Amino acid sequence: MRNQTVARLLKYLARYRLQIILSLLLAIVNVVFTLHIPVIIGQIIDCCIGTGQVLMNDIIHLLTVILLETVAVAISQWLMSSINNRIVYNTVKNLRYDIFEHLQTMPLKYIDSHGYGEIVNKAINDVDQCADGLLLGFTQFFTGILTILGTLLFMLRISTRITLIVIVLTPVTLFLSRFISSRTYDLFKQQSSLRAEQTSHIEEMIGNQKIVQAFSQQDNTLKQFDDINNRLTDVSLKATFYSSLTNPSTRVINAIIYAILGLAGAFSVIHVNISVGSLSSFLSYANQFTKPFNEITGVITELQNAFACAARVFELLDEPTETSDKNDAIILERPQGKVVMKDVAFSYSDRPFITDMNIDIQPGQRVALVGPTGCGKTTLINLLMRFYDVNSGVITIDEHEITDITRKSLRSNFGMVLQDSWIRQGTIRENIMIGKPDATEEEIIAAARAAHAHSFIRRMPDGYDTVITEDGGSLSQGQKQLLCISRLMLSLPPLLILDEATSSIDTRTELKIQDSFARLMKGKTSFIVAHRLSTIKEADVILVMKDGKIIEKGNHDSLLENHGFYYDLYNSQFEH
């Protein structure tokens, strides 16, 4: 799993291979000059042979070289950091773009079955954690590896025998760091999952604060949050504890190695195998050789967290998208509105929900869907719009199967007003123009008048240019619904879906809008979902649904005469 995650991250990084190569070249320059400085320092020490034997000219020359190399190290370090930042944050930008683009094509089944906070956490927090790990990897991992290789070469040049001691003892550090890091990956993945659960809970509670307070659920929601928070704290402490063991453990081992090297080097000086200056350089290299291991073990800890977060991001990207339109899919243009469902079956899970549904709607008919909550009215609308695809059977519009029609053209021919009003952040004008971006000012105002929204819009601080938030801000539920109706009046689509379109509007305004709807629906196939049965008396066909099936069909008068389920449902609304 982890190897696959790393491979996929490398594919994203591969787009910046030239910058990576340049960063590696700068890292080489940085390491070479950094490692050459101890050689010069050793030469300076050897220039101080004894009393009256200090070679000042050579020392000044060597100090000048150190100064120039230090400047070169500083410049290369700055350039490398700048390039690495650009690589990482461009990679993150591409990753987030792919996530958002993927979300646009994912079926509603996934969105409906996952908390919004969890999805947001993957797109924002997990990607940020991944970026932090990658940045640390670029800035320290490459340089650390090159430093290890470079110091080995310089140490071999000074003393092969003492260098072998380093090579023999170093695997102990590597084994220890790998042993600890392999046990932190799962903990970091649990931490990321719990962080997503916490984000989802907070997002849900903030979005539904009125409901929480209305039902006095503050204590229960606090207990739920406390439970998630405690589990997150427990996992985070374990992950941090085990990952924090790596650095001090390797430091202890490296300090022991350094002491052994110092002792071995002292004996070599006594036997005149190397000079004091060379021993000084060697010990400096030995210290630099072990230092990257400490840094790399810290980087490995961060990379474990980054890979765990990346794995969750790729899980989201691997979720299946909506099935693509067929290559020969047709573009539906101004349909007549003949809608047929034949032997349609659908289920949200393994349990069948809609079974053996058959409907034949003629062009221009007004079709009302009625029935108790959960009977399948909204599901039927979702199937018509292809938000969900049927498990079996066919749905046709003008004798074209909807699977043979492009989703874009299918949905663009439907106009929808739902009970839950969807408002985007922007001006009131932009919200009305969603269905017709090229609409003129006169058309927008005419649509708002037809929806009886013009009067309240005119009273807003900036009229049609008033900026509202995605939850509508100070707008009431009824006003938001009027804006959605204005969209419909502006776009004038050939097929209409009205799902409790006036549920939040006062009775007086509703009566006026019903007249506007009547004119709008004339000659258009319309599907009307309503709980107030008095609003659908004029429908041409009423489909009475129960438990995912159509149990009665007819107009208002004929259904009342049958004294069936519709009769009981209709009369129950007038009983006291």
Q: Per residue in 147-194, pLDDT tens?
A: 888 877 877 777 777 777 777 777 677 677 667 666 676 787 788 788
- Compute the distance between CA of residue 436 and CA of residue 457 in angstroms, rounded to an integer: 19
3-class secondary structure, 399: coil
Hey, what are 195's tokens? 């962080």
Least confident of 33-37, 67-71, 289-293, 312-316: 289-293
**What is the model's pLDDT at position 576?**
44
Hey, what are 300's tokens? 């490995």
3-class secondary structure, 396: strand
Give the pairing of strands 541-546 and 366-370.
parallel
- Compute the distance between CA of residue 401 and CA of residue 131 in angstroms, rounded to an integer: 46
Phi and psi at residue 427, to the nearest 5°: -80, 165
Average pLDDT over residues 563-571: 83
HEC sequence for 348-377: CCCCCCEEEEEEEECCCCEEEEECCCCCCH
Quote the pTM value. 0.67
Least confident of 148-152, 173-177, 497-501, 561-565: 173-177
Could you report the per-residue pLDDT of 418-466, keeping only the tens digit for each?
777 788 888 889 888 887 888 899 999 998 888 888 888 888 888 888 8
Task: Give the residue among 125, 162, 453 at the shortest CA–CA distance from 286.
Answer: 162
Q: CB-based burial of residue 543 (10 Å sphere; 0-12 exposed, 13-18 middle, 19+ buried)?
A: buried
3-class secondary structure, 491: helix
- Compute the distance between CA of residue 326 and CA of residue 403 in angstroms, rounded to an integer: 8
Q: What is the dihedral of CA 380, 385, 388, 394, to 10 degrees?
A: 70
Task: Give the residue among 11, 4, 5, 3 at the shortest CA–CA distance from 309.
Answer: 5
Please, where are the H alpha helices in 319-460?
377-384, 407-412, 428-432, 441-450, 454-458
Q: Which CA distances in Å does 231 have to 234, 242, 505?
A: 5, 17, 45
Report yes or no: 146 and 28 within 8 Å, Cβ to Cβ: yes
Q: Residue 185 CB: number of other CB atoms within 10 A?
A: 20
Could you report the per-residue pLDDT of 241-296, keeping only the tens digit for each?
877 777 777 777 777 777 777 777 777 767 666 766 676 777 777 777 767 766 67
Q: CB-based burial of residue 478 (10 Å sphere; 0-12 exposed, 13-18 middle, 19+ buried)?
A: middle
- Compute the distance between CA of residue 318 and CA of residue 297 in angstroms, rounded to an integer: 31
**What is the model's pLDDT at position 336?**
87
CB crowding 508-536: b at 16 or more within 10 Å, else e = ebbeebeebbeebbeebbbbbbbbebebb
What is the gyration radius of the CA atoms in the chain, in angstroms? 36
- Compute the distance between CA of residue 416 and CA of residue 411 in angstroms, rounded to an integer: 9
Confidence class of residue 71 from pLDDT cuts 50, 70 and 90?
Answer: very high
Which long-range contacts does 382-389 make (Cβ < 8 Å, 24+ apart)?
382/108, 383/341, 383/344, 383/346, 383/354, 384/339, 384/414, 384/497, 384/527, 385/410, 385/411, 385/414, 385/416, 385/497, 386/410, 386/411, 387/107, 387/108, 388/107, 388/108, 388/109, 388/346, 389/323
